[in-house]
Each structure stands twice: as structure tokens, then as C-alpha cells.
Structure 1
Amino acid sequence: MLHNINKGMRLGSINGLRFKQLKLVILAFLMLFLLWKWEKGTYYDSEILQPDPLVLTHPANSKIIERHTPSEEDFPSPDPLPQSVVKVEKQVTAAPPPLSMTGYSVDVADENEVLPPQNKECNYRNGKWVSDNHRPLYSGFGCKKWLSESWSCRLTQRTDFAYEKFRWQPEACQMPEFEASRFLRRMQDKTIAYVGDSLGRQMFQSMMCMVTGGKNMPDVQDVGAEYGFVLAPGAKRPDGWAYRFLSTNTTILYYWSSTLCDLEPLNPSDRATSYAMHLDRPPSFLKNNLYRFHVLVLNTGHHWNRGKLKTNKWEMYLGGAPNNNRNIAVIWKAKNFTIHSVVKWLDAQLPHHPQLKVFYRSISPRHFFNGDWNTGGRCDNTNPLAKGSGIHLNHSEDTDAEGAVSGTRIKLLDVTALSRLRDEGHISRYSIKATQGVQDCLHWCLPGVPDTWNEILAAQL
């Protein structure tokens, strides 16, 4: 009898011990699960930014525009970005954004601001827009020598200019106020080159206005001829512009390369010839002039659509021959292939050019609502920061750009998410001649958002 009692007690102790061990194992798994979900951002206590299907789709689902826009730039199919941050909502949808992006957006009028995690690592993409009555950095009326009329919204019928009165405040970075003379001294004997599409040209014009204060300076010399920037017969504009500030020997230039791949005429003697679009070759301009640059800023994205290829007679080439790889021939895959190619080439060149710093600028968001550029899409909002003022993400919205520079010495100039909040800053329906037509919800008013891109660039130099 006693033996049975002792045996029962031992079994009870063993079972109790097993039960406690089981509880500990379950508790450990639960803690690991919660930590994993926290890292993924699921339980991050903040407002989550959700995709707006009218503005943003994955490139695989994009509609390709097959006709040519009458404006100076095509407004192509929706941004070649993954579905990520666009619209502020209170509820979390079942489908998580790619790369486990966490995010918050702060309403300008909301005093109960939701704070991001206490991560002190500096990343200029995270922060908030703040009102600043000392803005803008230059006058849209005054910067006529450097700024295209169509981008100077002060010269149009627009009457609201609140969009000029904001600056970007990174949450964990020291970003001093841009001061032109100090910047030029830092860039003494250096050359800053912007290579890309019209959004790159906006950034170039913004920088010229910022360093001159929008005023004509007698010591600024046109040196475009040194880089082959001459107006070709029948062309609206040269392939680029270059100016040198004689007081500091600082050169700022822009070269037009909307796709960042080399274009070669198939029949140079024929003005109507088609062009080989070498997806695996950087523009020859880069190859020929890289040794002259100290800062290089690249961008592409909005010209990758069938309409542009057809209109410009661009034919995809790979390995010096017409591309027969049907997988790469898909537009957004061809774009990604090209970006990776040029970034890889530049990364290999950097050891030979130790003076050079290279930045790839993430894509600038479009803000066509209730349609696209050719279907009545509009961007009529004039209320700044209607979607919130702050951003906190653990990955770039432009995952293609982020993936291309990952593991290289090329820096990502990540401006997509912070620009996404500024839909009121586009050219919209305004023009010099007050003509009705397609709204420009791609380019920005200047002064405006591209000034911030340059401030973030300057802070990282």
C-alpha cells in the first residue's frame, strides 16, 4: 500500500514537472512569436499607412500607356513601386506591405502625436514636415535664369503658396539649414553632376536656385561646351547644362538620361533612325566623364513605359545584340535590370575614383487621383499635409532602388515616402498661359519639394 502511494506521488511529481516544463516551452514560443511580430511591425502602436490603388501599383499590374502625351514629359502608368505607404488609415489590413514596412503618419492638428520606436540611428527618410516661415530658400519670381517658367508656380495663376513654407526635419539626424555660401565653400574645386530624367532636371534647377538665392551672379560661367552640351539642329534643348562658380571653382551640371542606359543610333546618318537601348551599358556620358565628378546623383523610373519606347524608337539590346530574353523584355524588369547594371558598374569604378560619392535617388511619387494623366486624373488639393506630416519606415518605399544599392558603396537618396505626403506641391492645373489640358501631377512647383531632396543630399556630403 505504501509502495503504491509513493509510486503515485512520484508519478504526480513527474507529471507536475512535465506540465511546468510544457508551460515554460509554450511561454517561450509565445514570447518568440510576440518578438517576431513586433519586429515585423504588426503590433507597432501607430497609424499604419496603406496603399491607394489610384496612385500606386506593383509594376507587374501596371497599365502601359501606348500613346504619347502632348506635354514635355510623359505621365506614364502608375509608379513602379510595391504597394506600401500612401494613405493614412486607422485599421490594419490583412495583407502586410512588402519588406515588413512599419510606418506612422502624424496629423498636423493632432496634439497626441504617435511616436516611433526609440531608434536613434540616423536615416533621413524618417522624420516629419514642419512649418517654417523662413521658407522658401529662394524666390520663384527671381530665379528666372535657372528655373523653367513652367515649373515656377509663382508665374502661373496659382494663388496658394502654403506649400513653400515647410521643411523636412529628420527624426534622428542633424540637418543644418542650407546656406549657399557655406555649401559652395564645402564644394570648392568639386563637380556635382545630376544624371537622369526631368525630375533630375528639377533637382538640378532647384540646386542652382538654392546656391544663387535665385539671383543672377556675375561669377557663374556657362561651361556646357566642356561637356558637349550644345543645342543640336531641331532640338528643343541641349542634352544638358553645366555652370561653374568661379569664386570656388564649383561646377554643377545636369545630363539628360531618362533611362540610365546607353542609347546608340542604329544608323547615325539617318535622323529618323531607331536607337539601341543597351540595358547592360551605362550612358557613354558617364563613362567619359566619371573622373571629373565628385558628387553624382542618378535617377530614373517614369520613362519606362511602352509609349516612350515606341515614340523614341528605342529597341532593347543586351550584350550588344537585340534582346531575346523575354523575361527581361517586360518593362519593369528591364528597368530593374538596368538600374542594377549601372549601380554595379559604378560600384566597381569607385575604387578608381576615391574622390567620388554616388547617390541613387529613389523615385518621385505621382499624385493622380480619380484617374491617370490621360483619363481625367487630378491633383487639386491645396491643403498641405492632408495625409499627415510624419514618416517612419524600416525600408524604402522604392524597393527596386533599395535592392539595387544594397551591398554596394552607392548611397540611396530616399525621398519617396516623404514626398508622398506632399500632393499639394505639384504643378497641377496651373500654367503660364492658363490653358486647359492635362494636369501635371508628376512634376513639382519650384520652390518646393525638390529643394528638400537637395538639402538631404547636402547633409550627407
Structure 2
Amino acid sequence: MKLHAMELPSLGKKKALQYTPKIVLLLTLYLILHTLVTFCYPLSSTSFLWKTSPPSSSSSSRAASIISSYTKIMSKTCDISRGGWVPNPGGPYYTNATCWAIHDHQNCMRNGRPDTDFLKWRWQPDECELPLFDAAQFLELVRGKSLAFVGDSVARNQMQSLICLLQRVAYPIDVSYTQDDKFKRLKYTNYDFTLASFWSPHLVRAKVSDANGPTLDHLYLDEFDEQWTAQIEEFNYVIISSGHWFFRPSMMYVAGQVVGCNHCLKKNVTDLNMFYAYRKAFRTAFRALNDLKKFKGMVFLRTFSPQHFENGSWNEGGNCDRKRPFKRSETQLEGHNMELYKTQVEEFRAAERKGEKRGLKYRLLDTTRAMLVRPDGHPNHYGHLPNENKNFYNDCAHWCLPGPIDAWNDFLLYVLKMESEHGDEKFYQSERKLKIR
């Protein structure tokens, strides 16, 4: 016979006392469970968690499961870069209508994208749980600090995602020193937190040819790009990333002299591939940070974000029409994606060893594998309004907002939280042993 709460008063005093410990135990388990769910999944309600995780047979097993998950969250050996995308019916956590920071060419919903399934996934590491982004927690961790994104438009894409995620808690004011949108500074005054972006698609000093004529970028591979290196000393966190611009034809210089080119078709000029320039550029960018005497911040490398053009290249009608993530068995990191990934991680590790000697911290945001399997998250032909009378290429390089790129800031918050709670050496000894795959 089941005992209902309403039946308790009709029992004798002796029997009531027999049941009281059981009721107290059940209530205690419920309170522990509710507290842990709120802490581990601040953006999710309890009912949402039960919807996405099959209910277990008892309250005690549910509590044990969540305690186990929490232990894994705090694991010091978890490689969050290895995992898969799992359904997330509760997403996304902002929309194109609620966030002002989304540029038109990443505003896929505004531009008529009819499907929304690509918004209903979250990244799940194999070895632990990756909590969804908690804006209040992030802002507390960066209170009184500053963070800069250095790189190309994909770097700016991540910054816009971060602004949209933080908007659940706070809005910034614009404190930019220029009207150029490629160099933005925003201030979250209630947290004394500054967020900035520095446009440097090649990370080094470069001159880009007139867009109306034949494009040939001139890359000075051993020279700092002072548009960001001259201003970066004050920042507590610097996120470096770049990639897609190195596919363009370029002339390469070292010590002021031409050393080769990539797809330039010039007589008497050595044809060097893009990987030569890519390695040199990252080496110089990291050297710039290590050489800045007053820089005491933490350096992040956000790894290469693969493109997903199919049925042709970007200028030959290529598209990215897929509506779901790849399964792990459907694709792998190979070819130029693997080469770019390996190159930047190798240069990152070399710079890390040098930086440690003067007390700098280097941290990896290894997002490459997570994004390799998300061909469904790009603007494609929804990077503009359907009635715009212009010639547009399909965009399979940037990411829709909201979209899979929001997970990059889940990665960022995870690393910041681990740094705050565990310090550097113990947690990152295992991370440094991860092999390039």
C-alpha cells in the first residue's frame, strides 16, 4: 500500500514516527538534487533536465547520477575537445531578435533561414560534462579585467556570440577609440570588464591589395602588427585566432625581402604554400606577446575553424546545405584542415614554453573537432536578405548567430573556471600531454 501525505494524520503517533525519517530522507534528497541541478545547469530548469536525461528509478539514483556528473565536471583530466553534439531541445538561449550585436551576414533567421534544428544541439565531451554558458558566472570571473579577440572576422564572430550570451545579465557601453567596427571596445560598467576586438586577419603586418583589382596580400611574416601589439599589454586575456585569409594569393617577406609567394604566379619568385606563411605568422604573433615586457596576461589559442564548402569551392558555387551535424564516422580531420591545426598548435606549444619562463600562461581553446562536424551551422545563402540586388557567395566559413559557435564560449568559461578553481599546473599537466590528432 502506498502512503500519501494526506494519510499521515490518521495514523497513530507510533506509526507516524516510523514514517517520519523516510519522509525527511526523501525531502533531503530532493533539496540536494535541486541545489546541484541549479548549480551545474544554471540556464536550465529542473524539468528541462529531466526531459533531456531519461528519468532513473528513484530519487536516490537521480541524486547519485548528478553528483557523479558534477564530479566529472570538475575533473582535472577532462579533454573537452573530444566529444559529440547531443540534442538540446532547450536551446538557443538568445535569438536574433533579442541580441543587437549580430551582424547582418550572420543573422540567418533575419535573412529567411527556415530550419531551426541546427540550434538544438550542445557539445558533450566524452569524459565529462560541459555546462552551458552562465553569463553571471562569467562576468564574476572577469570582474575588473579585460579580454581581447585578435584575428579575423571569425574571431569577431565569437566576440559577437559572447556579447549575445552576456546580454542575459548585462549590456555594455561602447568605449571604442575609433569609428572603425574592426576595432571595438565595450565596457560592462557594473563589472568593470572591458571586451575588445582587434582586426588582424594575418596576425602580422600586412598590406591588402585594392579589392577592385587583382588581390595579392603582402605579408611581412617577421614583423609585428602594431595595430594590436601596441595596445595589448593592458589586457588580462588575449584570444588569438586566424586561418581563412591565408588561402588568398600572397607575397611573403622576411627581413624586408621577398622569400616566396602563394598562388601569385610571379616569375622568379619561389612558390611557397600557405602553411609556410601560417607557421611564420603564428610564430611572430606569439613572439610579440612574449616580448612585451609589461604584458602579464593569459594567452589563448582558439584553434582553426573548418569551412564546409561542398559541390565546389567558395567562388565556384560551393554551398553548405546540410541540416544536421555529421556523425563522427562521416568525416575526419585531414588534409589542409589537419595541417592548419597541427601548425598552429605546434607554434602554440613552442611559445608556451618560452612564455612560461617569464610567468605567462598559455591556454588552448581546441574547438576544431567540434566544428568539423557542424556543416549545418553556416549562413550559406542566408547571409543576406533574399531581395538584395548583389552578387553574393555562399558563406560556409562564418557561423550563424545563434548557432554552434556559441559553444566556443562554453569552452572559454570552462577554462576560466578551471583556472580560477584549480590554478595552473595541476590541471594543465594533463592538457599539455594531449596528442595532436
Normalised by the size of structure 2, how large is the TM-score?
A: 0.65
CA-based RMSD of the aligned residues comes to 3.3
Q: Could you say which residue in structure 1 is the equivalent of 2:82?
A: 126
Name the CA shift for 1:245/1:390 in 2 (closer, same or farther; >3 Å). Answer: farther
Distance 2:78 2:127 in 1: 5
1:317 aligns with 2:218: no
Name the CA shift for 1:321/1:407 in 2 (closer, same or farther; >3 Å). Answer: closer
**Equivalent residue pairs, number:** 316
Name the CA shift for 1:338/1:160 in 2 (closer, same or farther; >3 Å). Answer: same
Instruction: Tell me the amino acid that sits aligned with residue 177 of structure 1.
Output: L
Unaligned runs of 5+ in 1: 1-118, 232-237, 267-273, 310-314
Instruction: Tell me the amino acid that sits aligned with residue 460 of structure 1.
Output: V
- Aligned with residue 335 of structure 1, among 278, 283, 290: 278
Shift of 1:384: 3.6
Shift of 1:427: 0.6
- The answer to which of 165-174 and 189-198 deviates more is 165-174
Shift of 1:202: 0.4
CA contact (8 A) 2:324 2:374 kept: no
1:171 aligns with 2:171: no
Distance 1:290 1:449 in 2: 28
Name the CA shift for 1:338/1:328 in 2 (closer, same or farther; >3 Å). Answer: farther
Distance 1:392 1:264 in 2: 31
Instruction: Tell me the amino acid that sits aligned with residue 371 of structure 2.
Output: S
- Aligned with residue 261 of structure 1, among 195, 198, 204: 204
CA contact (8 A) 2:107 2:383 kept: no
Q: Could you say which residue in structure 2 is the equivalent of 1:445?
A: 400
CA contact (8 A) 1:427 1:439 kept: yes
Q: Normalized per residue, which structure has more helix?
A: 2
The percentage of counterpart residues that share the same residue type is 27
CA contact (8 A) 1:328 1:334 kept: no
CA contact (8 A) 1:195 1:299 kept: yes
Q: Could you say which residue in structure 2 is the equivalent of 1:52?
A: none
Q: Could you say which residue in structure 2 is the equivalent of 1:152?
A: 107
Shift of 1:386: 5.1
Distance 1:346 1:377 in 2: 38
**SS at 2:187's partner residue?**
strand
Q: Could you say which residue in structure 2 is the equivalent of 1:362?
A: 303
1:192 aligns with 2:147: yes
Distance 2:377 2:157 in 1: 13
Q: Could you say which residue in structure 2 is the equivalent of 1:58?
A: none
Shift of 1:402: 1.4
Q: Could you say which residue in structure 2 is the equivalent of 1:5?
A: none
Shift of 1:348: 4.5
CA contact (8 A) 1:120 1:172 kept: no
Instruction: Tell me the amino acid that sits aligned with residue 447 of structure 1.
Output: P
Q: Could you say which residue in structure 2 is the equivalent of 1:301?
A: 243
Name the CA shift for 1:165/1:366 in 2 (closer, same or farther; >3 Å). Answer: same
**Aligned ranges 1:8-407 → 2 under 5 Å:** 121-143=77-99, 145-213=100-168, 217=171, 220-225=172-177, 229-231=178-180, 238-263=181-206, 277-307=219-249, 309=250, 315-323=251-259, 329-349=272-292, 352-354=294-296, 356-385=297-326, 397=338, 398-407=341-350
Q: Could you say which residue in structure 1 is the equivalent of 2:382?
A: 430
Name the CA shift for 1:339/1:279 in 2 (closer, same or farther; >3 Å). Answer: same
| Higher Cα radius of gyration | 1
Distance 1:367 1:392 in 2: 12
CA contact (8 A) 1:383 1:424 kept: yes
Distance 1:216 1:434 in 2: 33
**SS at 1:247's partner residue?**
helix
1:454 aligns with 2:389: no
Distance 2:136 2:236 in 1: 18
Distance 1:421 1:245 in 2: 34
CA contact (8 A) 1:360 1:412 kept: yes
Shift of 1:324: 6.5
Unaligned runs of 5+ in 2: 1-74, 210-215, 262-268, 353-361, 417-437
Distance 1:180 1:249 in 2: 15
Distance 2:374 2:179 in 1: 35
CA contact (8 A) 1:126 1:392 kept: no
Instruction: Tell me the amino acid that sits aligned with residue 122 of structure 2.
Output: R
Shift of 1:343: 1.9
Shift of 1:388: 5.8
